[in-house]
Chain A
Amino acid sequence: MNTTLHKEASLRLGRGCLFLIPFLLAFSASALADVHVAHVQTVTNASSKPADLTIKGTVVDSKGAPIPGANIKVKNSPNAVATNANGEFTIVAASGSDVLVVSFIGYKTQEVPVNNRTSIKITLEELNSELNEVVVVGFGTQKKRDLTGAITVVKSEDIVARPGPDPIESLQGRVAGLDITRSSGQAGAGVNIQLRGNRSLGASNGIPLFIIDGLPGDYSSLNANDIESIEVLKDASSTSVYGSNGANGVIIITTKQGKAGKTNIDFNSYYGYNGWSVVPKMITGDAYLQTKRDAYSYVWDPVNLKWTTTGAIWQSPADDINIFGATRLALYQQGQFVDWPSVFMRKNPATQNYSLGVSGGTDKTKAYVSFNYQNENGQYTGDDYKNYSTSIRVDHKVTNWVSIGANLKGSYVVRNRATDKLENALTTDPLVQPYNIDGSLNTSLGNNVYNLLLNYQPGVYANTDNNTKVFFNPYVEIRPIKGLSILSRASGEMDYSNNYRFDGIGSVAYVYNNANIAKASITQNRYQALQWENVLTYNFKIRNDHEFTFTGASTYYDYQTTNTQQTQSGITSNNFEWYTMSANDPNTRASSSYSMSKSWGLVARLNYSYKSKYLFSASVRHDGASQLYYTNRWDTFPGLSAGWRISQESFMAGTKSWLDDLKLRASWGTTGASSIPPYSSVSNLESLNEALGGTTQAIYRNTKYLTNPDLRWERSTTTNIGLDASVFNSRVNLSLDYYNTGTPNAIYAVQLPSIYGTYTPGTNYLTNINIASTNNKGVELTLNTRNIVKKDFEWSSAISYSYNRETVLKITNGTNNVANTRSGQSNINDGNYTLMLGQPINSFRDFKLDGVWQIGQEQDALAFNKRPGDLMVDVPGLVHVAPGVYTKTAADGSVTYYYGNLTLAKQINPALTAANNYYNYGSADYQPVGHNSPDWSFGFQNNFKYKNFDLGIYTFVRWGQTISYNMMGWYQPNGFAANASPSRTFPASFDYWTPTNPANVFPVMNYQANTSTMIGFAGLNYVNGSFIKIKNISLGYTLPSNIAKKIALQKLRIYATVTNPLIITKSPLLKDYDPEMNGSLAYPLTKQVVVGLNVTL
């Protein structure tokens, strides 16, 4: 990448050269002071010319509203003024024949002849403002009209429109192609993000790259009010400048900065409640008794192949004592059912946010300072999240060609976590007494059931995190000549998180699993990231029509984490918590660990625009990362794109009246995903101890990952074709994209077969290989319309629709399925997904169920050694040839007969002699049973404005995904056995099979049955998770500006928002469940009601 730059600042760039100006900080003040003064003087002189005619006027928009800050200039004269807050101005012109030039961002510049008037009203015509918006792209900015990639911009007002702790959640459904779900209602819980489907298999590879103010960072503790805009870079030509980290999309967050002019003070706040979660109703009361009776009323008669009551334990109500046991029957008769969720969960925990932002500045120095406080309480006592954060940003023009600035973001998050989850509360034994008669807590419920309230006792339990995060980001930018900018920015991120945990005397852990030993631990993670980026941008025009922008950049990232942990056990008093650990105490232990990674990248990009009509961009990035084996550490990622603004063509002149803009875009590019864990591409030895013969013996063992010298970067190549149109004076804006992404070498850490040894017993060695070829194709549509625009009433809507089809094309190690992929990201349990040819990446492979064997199907069921009431597993390739007889043809053409009754089988094949040949359901019968990524999703935002009222309704549809719904697995066919450990319950909506109830989902209720051995039971978990929900309704009232002014406010708005008011699920099995939780039952999503206030001083 050797490039010759403008003569005045020419220099040669070799490979690996970068621009950096850290020393400028030290030099600048003294060296350039005189320039600074001279510049100021020039300005002063310019504004002190004599005048002849004083003109007063107002500038308004097409609706008659005043435009403050508009520029008014006397043509061919230095005289210029700006309008005040009421759109008024006063300017002095040389003569009555002068012409005023009136301009304002977003409006067409107008020339107004004075014609000797002293009072003028000017109406400015709005430009197609969207097109002139500046969009942040990788290592630079571009005007929206010049974009050639697929980039979606979300503005600050949309980000704060849905109150919540996670700013990214507000993007849900706004950005076509960006799939966002929140699966946990826990205080401070984050969201799951996936852009344009899954390509990568590795746990951390699926998440988009977040760039905060130019550098990679973590958004989780950012306050939504501090965000100016979020840009989502979707296609590879946009993301290829991020090379090895761009494969899963890039989300660029730009925080607010000060603006020149009047000081602005914004105060935003809301207060409300979380709660009202939908919670499945569990079996209690009479239904509980009936279920128990059902379980004990029948026994299977294998001779006559029927369920019979003969010999059954329950014959009449007199036998209730036999099925309950005396103690539990007494509890039952007293009606001692506990509604655990209501005992266990807080009614309406409060959530609140206060945010104060102050910004202002001069032409030279601008500053922004904000303070935020957020406090969210979870639905469990002891579950809360507090975030104290600040964002400080200073930008200073040292001279007209040197700027420096710094940005500091700090946050301190305190978080408490409860132990037990809704799942436990729902399914635990309901037939117990949580409190003793005297009102004290019943600490011994027996039968392996612990009282869920144990940890609510004062002082027995604590699990507290505190997390201090500082992100410091200084920069210096020099613009030595027109069009050339050299920016160097560095950042240090320090993230110190501590966890303190105490399971004291009387806690759940103490009673239940720590053998009456109180334990404490302190875990400290220190994360340090050093980043340094240098960006050179040179923008120049040739003959006015050919505009070029060259960007060159170098990036260097260095991440380190150290972790230390201390534990203590045998703590004798709950007073001590974690405060009395001591090196002299044999029960105190310490451990530490460390990991690091480094990466290095060089970027070059050229953008070309011909009259903003033909647009072209080419980029290349060369990247290296320490995690990869040294032989293949470096790789290169190219990107190309082009755009054609058809509407600018002369032949389109006739459409100008209605077509504002029409652009066709096409792009192609390659990005990578390198984020395999550190140390996972090279094999080493670990040193540790083992117990041998009752003594300690030092040992070495191999590290978990074995070297694969052939491991290469995972590369994704995307072709994107897009169309942007804006019609009817921007009343309708449409954006349509088609993409096709191929990832021919997705990395996955495969388990080596144990014949090559195991890392530890039962844990296979892993080796990263480029295992799979995956493909994603999809269509995205964004449609923004202003349906009704009247004086007092406005209705606008925004639709975003995305469809994605994800396919595994090839698996290189030969099998057509690889189980347990994507650990760490799976739906419910780690490693729940299987990689299968032709299926989406996050696919489930399990038994496919055809319902339950019914009465009348005894002989057929017998061929599988099953009974009516057992689950009917779908067996691929099995043919039902006659009642009770099935056949399967092997690859070699041989036919096997399966039957339970030889007499029946002989009628088909007299040669058969064995008394039976059961077909055993087994892993060979596994099939794809759905995928966790949606087929399509749809977001529909409607905004209404009536006078000063505004109403927003947001509907979200996510369709086609299968979820692994934990609750299904809680079905207990054994009738809540008295001594099972423990006696669980399940939702009342589970319609199970009995000889008199031919249900077809849940198998037989029988005391001798057991879900862990009902083959196929695991298949029940997979439920269609499609849903439609009204995610959000928000109603606001803005004080009329004339009234606001009287109380010295620029703006005052109050609003109320309801979140998650309505959920409709496709599957009836998801009764009382919000499938956005994706199968989990730990922290239910809440319905939230808040009232809020936006004030601008």
Chain B
Amino acid sequence: MKTPFIKRTIFKTGLCALMLLLSVSSCKKLDEFNPAAVSPETTLNNFAGWKAYQSNCYTGLWGSLIGMQYGLVSEVGTDLWTFSYNNHNQYKDIMAYEGFTTNSGIIKNVWDFAWGSVNDCNETIQLAPLLTDAAANAADIKVLVAEAKCLRAYYYSVLVAQFGSVPLIVTDDPVKTLAPVRTPVAQIYAQIISDLTAAAADLPILPYQNNAARVTKKAALGLLARAYAQGAGEGLSENGKSYWQRAKEVADDLITNKGSYNANMYTDFAQVFASANNRNNAESLFTAYGLNPYDPSYDVFTGNSKPNIYLHYYPKLDDAFTAGTDLFKRSVNSNTSNGYYGRLNQQFVAPTKYLINCFNATYDKRWENTFVTAFANYSGVQAITSLGSGAPSPANVTYAAAQVTLTAAMCTKYGIDASHVGQIIYPYADVNAKNASANATWQYIPSIWTKGDHTGNISALQTVANANVHPYPLAQDEDRFFVYLSKTPLTAADKATRRYVTINIDDLFDPSDATGSTYKAVTASNGLPNINLANLFPAMMKFNHNFDGGWLGGNFQQKLGNIMIMRMAEVYLIDAEATLHTGGSGGAAAQYLNVLRQRACRNAADFNTTTGMMLTTATMNDVFDEYARELCGEYSRWALLKREKAFETRLATYNATAAANFNPAVHYNRPIPFSFLSQITNGSEFGTNGY
């Protein structure tokens, strides 16, 4: 046993030495290896890395802040919008101040999305002075910092308008306190003004690197005018000048020198929302630039979700007409079904009678360029011609399949005069289909059938500026629509001449609400030709982008077009508003409004005092009305009523539904979201804004 023992001992000794060696080397390093990330220290200290970081400041812009969430929060609960039938549940907190609590999801979204990019702006601004590498060009840095300031100011302007006093965070402090404190509103406005003033000074006239998504000087100036006006509502002043004065100065400057700022006004209101003008809208001061489905960039979208704002302003046509059974051929209730309207399955928001009556539709083309009041079927002849059986199902509609031959039963059901039995209702639009890219998929590009041509030949199609717009008023012999909501009350005899369902808009309102904020319900006694027609209302279509590049083929609720955050027309409105607040004359204010009114005339000759389209003097009510006509739906009404302290008066007059629960002590600010309050340690001190 001796030999093995010796061997063993030698063996063991060697082994132990080996083990010691191995163990010393291997127990030291437990560092993580992360090939998918880089360290901020080595990346953001050079211009290229910093610039890439800066670009992310735009992420918060195109998503929910221009989608349904902020879209509704910024507009409803005002004199302009009310519930459609059967929707007095959804969003009754923001629409009518009913059951408004800190757990409103939509308010939480606005809070989160508005804050989302602020920190990126802060860090961008903070790191700029530290850039010293060769590529760090002072001119570029100046512009990019100015962009970040402009964006930060915009994000804060949303927050302060909606929530009032919030924490003002302008640096990226590594220590993030979970006990944040609020900053007074005045200080927040001062920061916004200071950022926008600096941005306006440093931003170029044309966007950096010619990227139309990037903000320019006119954006900063426009926002500055708006911020002054909004801050003016808080009674603020600067160096002895009231914010109203400053708002007027900035607005005047923009108007007077608009040529030098590359700020423009279209001469015709129809151009503002024309399909061709969506991507490079001359009137836009500040655009949330959409996605191009034809470009690979479509697939690298970093925003929250693509805007689904448009459908909430449309009636659920399926509820009014059972789709596919008689007058209405293709359902809009389900996804990727109707290639003309998209997916209309919500009907959250309908115009109040006040908003409808703001328009003098006889002369003012803004009516039909804002509201759809006649609904039609569509065909897909172009798509079938070019793609044959490969046409995607929303476009796979032959001309014949889009036609409706009126039967006695249909006429009875919908109150169409029996004389029209046997007549045909033809489609109004025809869509082509193009597959844009793998993920964005199909585009459904509409053209319009020439009235009276029933050949179904592609040659009978016309390309129009905006395929959502239909002829106004609808002619008695019109044969391309199956329902018409007439703004002008039509007599029974007149209705009988029409081969389509005709309803006077006035008849959609419940007469028991004198303020015009209540639509009739689908009840046995609603007096409509068919009780289900109570689902209808004029549909605000400013955001229903259906041009080539505006569709998202896989999700008809979302659209890809640009959405203007601010356009030049608003500057005229601010100027008129500020004029009245700074002691200016009604006549002076009227001049600003007339610029908008003149281009809204259906015939140029109608711009005169007899038609009422030309104003000689303007009151604050005229300003309110003009804001409504020009900007309804465009993310502004709630802030306007807030700064004008006008909720109490205007809701009482025009929206009794919302007035019933509006509490001025509370509702001028939105509730601080419950989720935020439960993330911080001083929730009860921070407070809910009275909710």
The 8 Å CB contact of A311, one of B34, B117, B523, is B523
B678→A819 contact, CB < 8 A: yes
A31→B11 contact, CB < 8 A: yes
Separation of A222 and B20 alpha carbons in the complex (Å): 36
The 8 Å CB contact of B12, one of A9, A447, A819, is A9
List CB contacts (< 8 Å) of A1018-1052 with chain B: none
Separation of A625 and B32 alpha carbons in the complex (Å): 9
Chain B residues within an 8 Å CB radius of A750: 679
A933 within 8 A of B: no
Chain B residues within an 8 Å CB radius of A706: 176
Chain B residues within an 8 Å CB radius of A687: 38, 52
B214 within 8 A of A: yes
A326 within 8 A of B: yes
List CB contacts (< 8 Å) of A655-695 with chain B: 678-679, 682-695
B111→A922 contact, CB < 8 A: no
Chain A residues within an 8 Å CB radius of B122: 757
B211→A692 contact, CB < 8 A: yes
A47 within 8 A of B: no
List CB contacts (< 8 Å) of B37-78 with chain A: 37-40, 43-44, 49, 52-53, 55-56, 58-60, 63-64
Report A627 CB to chain B, min CB distance, Å.
7
B331→A446 contact, CB < 8 A: yes
- Contacts A630-B31, A690-B302, A698-B52 supplied; 4 other A-B pairs, CB < 8 Å: A600-B30, A684-B39, A706-B176, A1013-B92
A761→B43 contact, CB < 8 A: no
B279 within 8 A of A: yes
List CB contacts (< 8 Å) of B99-143 with chain A: 99-103, 109, 111-113, 115-120, 122
| Cβ-closest 9 pairs across A and B | A757-B119, A922-B101, A814-B681, A1013-B89, A693-B213, A761-B304, A684-B37, A515-B554, A923-B103
A694→B295 contact, CB < 8 A: yes
B56→A690 contact, CB < 8 A: yes
A753→B37 contact, CB < 8 A: no
Separation of A235 and B301 alpha carbons in the complex (Å): 50
Interface-side segment among A11-19, A54-62, A191-199, A722-730 = A11-19
Separation of A814 and B680 alpha carbons in the complex (Å): 8
A313 within 8 A of B: yes
Chain B residues within an 8 Å CB radius of A1010: 89-90
Chain A residues within an 8 Å CB radius of B39: 684-685
B297→A696 contact, CB < 8 A: yes
Separation of A399 and B11 alpha carbons in the complex (Å): 15
Separation of A857 and B323 alpha carbons in the complex (Å): 41
A31→B31 contact, CB < 8 A: no
Separation of A603 and B159 alpha carbons in the complex (Å): 55
A685→B23 contact, CB < 8 A: no
A109 within 8 A of B: no
List the B residue with the shortest CB-CB distance to A980. Answer: B333
The 8 Å CB contact of B102, one of A311, A752, A923, is A923
Chain A residues within an 8 Å CB radius of B674: 922-924
A515→B553 contact, CB < 8 A: yes
Chain B residues within an 8 Å CB radius of A921: 99, 101
A512→B18 contact, CB < 8 A: no
The 8 Å CB contact of A516, one of B34, B333, B336, B438, is B336
Partner-A contacts on B (CB < 8 A): 3-4, 7-9, 11-13, 15-16, 18-20, 22-24, 26-27, 29-40, 43-44, 49, 52-53, 55-56, 58-60, 63-64, 86, 88-90, 92, 98-103, 109, 111-113, 115-120, 122, 166-167, 169, 172, 176, 178-180, 207, 211-214, 279, 289-292, 295-298, 300-304, 316, 318-319, 322-325, 331, 333-336, 345, 392-393, 435, 438-439, 441-442, 521-525, 531, 553-555, 661, 674-676, 678-683, 691
Chain A residues within an 8 Å CB radius of B116: 754, 757-758, 760-762
Separation of A327 and B318 alpha carbons in the complex (Å): 14
Report A538 CB to chain B, min CB distance, Å.
14
Known A448-B334, A692-B213; judge A34-B3 contact (CB<8 A).
yes
The 8 Å CB contact of A684, one of B34, B115, B691, is B34
Chain A contact residue count (CB 8 A cutoff)? 122
Chain A residues within an 8 Å CB radius of B301: 690-691
A688→B331 contact, CB < 8 A: no
- Quick one: CB contact mask for A938-981 with B, threshold 8 Å, 1 for yes? 00000000000000000000000000000000000000001101
The 8 Å CB contact of A692, one of B16, B58, B117, is B58
Report A42 CB to chain B, min CB distance, Å.
11
A757→B40 contact, CB < 8 A: no
Some 11 contacts from A to B, beta carbons below 8 A apart, are A23-B18, A327-B322, A534-B19, A599-B30, A678-B32, A693-B289, A706-B176, A757-B115, A923-B102, A923-B674, A1010-B89
List the A residue with the shortest CB-CB distance to B319. Answer: A979
- Quick one: CB contact mask for A618-660 with B, threshold 8 Å, 1 for yes? 0000001111001001000000000000000000000000000
Chain B residues within an 8 Å CB radius of A516: 336, 392-393, 441-442
Interface-side segment among A92-100, A160-168, A496-504, A590-598 = A590-598
Chain B residues within an 8 Å CB radius of A1013: 89-90, 92
List the B residue with the shortest CB-CB distance to A480. Answer: B8
Chain A residues within an 8 Å CB radius of B101: 920-924
A679→B30 contact, CB < 8 A: no
B120→A757 contact, CB < 8 A: yes
Separation of A760 and B392 alpha carbons in the complex (Å): 33
Chain A residues within an 8 Å CB radius of B661: 918
B44→A685 contact, CB < 8 A: yes
A755 within 8 A of B: yes
B300→A752 contact, CB < 8 A: no
A25 within 8 A of B: no
Chain A residues within an 8 Å CB radius of B691: 922
List the B residue with the shortest CB-CB distance to A315. Answer: B524
List the A residue with the shortest CB-CB distance to B64. Answer: A761
Chain B residues within an 8 Å CB radius of A910: none
A448→B289 contact, CB < 8 A: no
Separation of A530 and B55 alpha carbons in the complex (Å): 42
- Quick one: CB contact mask for A685-728 with B, threshold 8 Å, 1 for yes? 11111111111111111110010000000000000000000000
| Most B CB within 10 A of own CB, among A446, A600, A633, A691 | A691
The 8 Å CB contact of A755, one of B32, B115, B319, B323, is B115
Report A669 CB to chain B, min CB distance, Å.
23
Chain A residues within an 8 Å CB radius of B336: 515-516
Report A364 CB to chain B, min CB distance, Å.
17
List the A residue with the shortest CB-CB distance to B43. Answer: A685
A922→B103 contact, CB < 8 A: yes
The 8 Å CB contact of A480, one of B12, B23, B212, is B12
Chain B residues within an 8 Å CB radius of A514: 554
Known A679-B34, A922-B99; judge A761-B113 contact (CB<8 A).
yes
Separation of A762 and B305 alpha carbons in the complex (Å): 10
Separation of A424 and B525 alpha carbons in the complex (Å): 37
Known A755-B115, A756-B176, A1010-B89; judge A691-B298 contact (CB<8 A).
yes
Chain B residues within an 8 Å CB radius of A697: 52, 55, 211, 297
Report A397 CB to chain B, min CB distance, Å.
15
List CB contacts (< 8 Å) of A733-775 with chain B: 750-758, 760-762, 764
Separation of A685 and B127 alpha carbons in the complex (Å): 15
B334→A693 contact, CB < 8 A: no
Separation of A516 and B102 alpha carbons in the complex (Å): 41
List CB contacts (< 8 Å) of A442-475 with chain B: 446-448
List the B residue with the shortest CB-CB distance to A9. Answer: B12
Separation of A686 and B43 alpha carbons in the complex (Å): 10
B37→A587 contact, CB < 8 A: no
A322 within 8 A of B: yes
Chain B residues within an 8 Å CB radius of A399: 4
Chain B residues within an 8 Å CB radius of A21: 15
Known A20-B19, A750-B679, A756-B169; judge A34-B331 contact (CB<8 A).
no
Report A601 CB to chain B, min CB distance, Å.
10
Known A760-B304, A761-B59; judge A31-B442 contact (CB<8 A).
no
Report B226 CB to chain A, min CB distance, Å.
23
Known A23-B15, A978-B322; judge A754-B115 contact (CB<8 A).
yes
A554 within 8 A of B: yes
